[in-house]
Amino acid sequence: MTKGNVQDLCAGARVLILGGTSLARALATLLGREGYAVTTSLAGRTRDPLLPDGAVRIGGFGGARGLADYLVAHRVDVLVDATHPFAARMSANAHEAARATGTPVARLAPAPWPVDPDWMMVPDMASAARSLPPGARVLLTIGRQEIGAFVARTDCSFVARMIEQPEMPLPGWTLVLGRGPFATDTEQALAEAHAITHLVTKNAGGPWPAKLEMARAQRLAVIVVQRPQLPDVETVGTPQALLEWLAGLAPYSRK
């Protein structure tokens, strides 16, 4: 593709980002600077989300068919799945909608953390809950959507950190509300204050987080939930790499 074609492409291409992550926000800023017409879609699960640059829509689409209808109705040229690596349903819907409408699609996601041989790797939250020994004092850093898997473990103590208050009652639990990233000394103080013995987290990937550094220093048992299997689409790890992928596409034909 010639430089002129890329410039024409950037000036007119409509990109829908399925967002909600820091990478999605960085991508919206970058593509906006490059002249793309960017809309970011947020699921609406967080009551006070960090909003990206550019146009924003909030709420679900109604499954893959609803997303496909949106792509056609809004003449979207490119779809970017920049949702959390554990948002398996949304990624599946994105793949299906893109295939149904012939829309180019790519995923923007950080590389998973390299597995430490001392970690216990489990496939899902139910397995993580079953893996905890009686009497464990657990720091949960899995958000608020999947904490239900641990409620039945009344023989353990839980400190759950999340951005917003969960809807379900959690009697006896300690809730810590906050939005990362967190400093190592903050993580250490939290673990020491509650005599934490186990850390349960997801392999979200990206920069090495302070909680894992703290867990190693404190010799905590670490249970890491592996990423779900996602559709096989072009996947890149940085906004710049996504921009380069866009530049490599053939000129878009408007729907």
Domain ranges of the chain: 3-111+229-247, 120-225
Dmax over Cα atoms in the chain, in whole Å? 65
Residue 188 half-sphere exposure, CB side, CA atoms within 13 Å? 9
Query: Is the pLDDT at 4 greater than 80, yes or no?
Result: no
* Candidate from 1-5, 32-36, 88-92, 124-128 with smallest mean pLDDT: 1-5
Q: Give the count of beta carbons closer than 10 Å to the beta carbon of residue 133.
A: 10
Question: What tens digit of pLDDT does each residue of 31-83 get?
Answer: 999 999 999 999 877 777 888 999 999 999 999 999 999 999 999 999 999 99
State how far Cα 163 lies from the chain centre.
Answer: 14
Provide φ and ψ at 78, rounded to 5°: -145, 140
The model's confidence at residue 180, banded by pLDDT at 50, 70 and 90, is confident
Question: Could you tell me the pTM of the whole model?
Answer: 0.87
pLDDT for 9 equals 52
Unique residue bearing structure tokens 């879609």: 41
Mean pLDDT of 15-28: 96
Beta carbons within 8 Å of 147's beta carbon, 6+ residues apart: 140, 160, 162, 166, 168, 170
Stated as kind and residue range, the H or E segment containing 28 is: helix 22-33
Q: Does domain 3-111+229-247 have CATH number 3.10.310.10?
A: no
pLDDT at residue 255, rounded to an integer: 45
Q: Quick one: pLDDT at residue 248? A: 87
Q: Torsions phi, psi of 107, nearest 5?
A: -110, 135
Four-point Cα dihedral 116, 122, 123, 124, nearest 10: -120
User: What's the CATH fold of domain 120-225?
Assistant: Rossmann fold (3.40.50)
Average pLDDT of the segment spanning 163-173: 90
The pLDDT assigned to 106 comes to: 98
Strands across the sheet containing 174-177: 120-122, 221-225, 198-202, 137-141, 157-162, 174-177
DSSP class of residue 114? P
Task: Check whether 7 has a pLDDT greater than 90.
Answer: no
Closest CA to 202 of 115, 86, 117, 83: 86
Asked whether the domain spanning 120-225 has the same topology as the one spanning 3-111+229-247, the reply is yes
- If 0-12 CB within 10 Å is exposed, 13-18 middle and 19+ buried, where does residue 166 land? middle
